[in-house]
Amino acid sequence: MSATLKSVSEAGTSIWLDDLSRERMIPNGKSRNLATLIAEEYVVGVTTNPAIFSASISQSSLYSDDLKALAAQGHNAESIITELTTADVAQACDLFIPVYERSAGVDGRVSIEVDPRLARDTSTTVSQARELWAKVNRPNVLIKVPATVEGLPAIRTLIAEGISVNVTIIFSVERYKAVLDAFITGLEERHNKGLPVSDIHSVASFFVSRVDTEIDARLKSHSHSDAPSLLGKAAIANARLAYQHFEEVLSSQRWKKLEGAGASIQRPLWASTGVKDPAYDPTQYVIDLVAPLTVNTMPEPTLISVRDQGRYKGNTVVGHYETSLQVIDQLASIGIDINEVATKLENEGIDKFIKPWLELIAAVEAASRQ
């Protein structure tokens, strides 16, 4: 077992795997199975997204029999996808039940996302989230909802209804503030009706590496003399400032009231933590974002890099707020606005999930005809 992964976990950053397939849930599959990762690599949760499911279902023969049977029963392509993905998530949830129980519901979580084409549709997002929640029917599932402007009221509504949510595609501190407010408002609405709040859990998925990818490209073509010194610094600075706001809310009287009623805070989840630039340390988006009450969801190559190469440095978030703000201010001074970047990345992020989802629908339709 890795001393580094153990230290990261013990420091309060839960390690989740950003991947799920049927191979992961069978012994001796092509991929290391989840049971091994739980036992040996401190993995305590799983996240999925439309791209992951598209790759899994399109490339694995393990779905063929179920796909044919569902098609024979009259299911259309989208219904088949729902049946396959919810079955996988339910099975993974069952595998994580011991972790879920041991952590009092904090970890042992598995996420499933609403149709990415609904990112700008509040009411249909709520409807599909309810359907997925009921269909998976496991206490440790999280329904992923995008943090678009239209997604914010959906988050509030779902939390008020007692549905645990993973809020995804967050790129800016300003949007993160709105997400955390929607979560708390939902809890308050529920609490004010006399309903329990202790069984609701949530994470806010704050994307990391894509911020550096976008900003570094701008810096490399920038004429300002300060540009080279800012390469590779924006993403971690941005995430650290989000955690600063998290700490402020955590100590607020508004939150203390809900905490007294048994509520659990929505934890920041660092997503997109696989390093895109080979010039950078492959462990940096894990090692440099260790802090209490956080989650880091990572692809297996990043997990292996942290295990084999990572050097634990303790809490690497608290105490770095001033320098992080300086990075964001320096970027602004040379014309790179983090909020404009976040808007661009949000739109691109939605498109990046819609494309593989449409490809999966087409692949399932073709297989159904056969």
144 a catalytic residue: yes
Residues sharing a CB contact under 8 Å with residue 321, sequence separation 6 or more, in sequence order: 240, 241, 244
CA distance linking residue 232 with residue 238, whole number of Å: 11
Q: Tell which residue, 45, 93, 47, 87, has the closest CA to residue 63.
A: 87
Catalytic residue among 144, 193, 220, 355: 144
CA distance 253 to 272: 32
Q: Which two tokens stand for residue 124?
A: 């249909």
CA distances from 359 to 59, 77, 85 (A): 12, 11, 15
SS (H, E, C) the chain: CCHHHHHHHHCCEEEEECCCCCHHHCCCCCCCCHHHHHHHCCEEEECCCHHHHHHHHHHCHHHHHHHHHHHHCCCCHHHHHHHHHHHHHHHHHHHCHHHHHHCCCCCCEEEEECCHHHCCCHHHHHHHHHHHHHHHCCCCEEEEEECCCCHHHHHHHHHHCCCCEEEEEECCHHHHHHHHHHHHHHHHHHHHCCCCCCCCCEEEEEECHHHHHHHHHHHHCCCCCCHHHHCCCHHHHHHHHHHHHHHHHHCCHHHHHHHHCCCCCCEEEEECCCCCCCCCCCCHHHHCCCCCCEEEEECHHHHHHHHHHCCCCCCCCCCCHHHHHHHHHHHHHCCCCHHHHHHHHHHHHHHHHHHHHHHHHHHHHHHHHC
Residues taking part in catalysis? 144
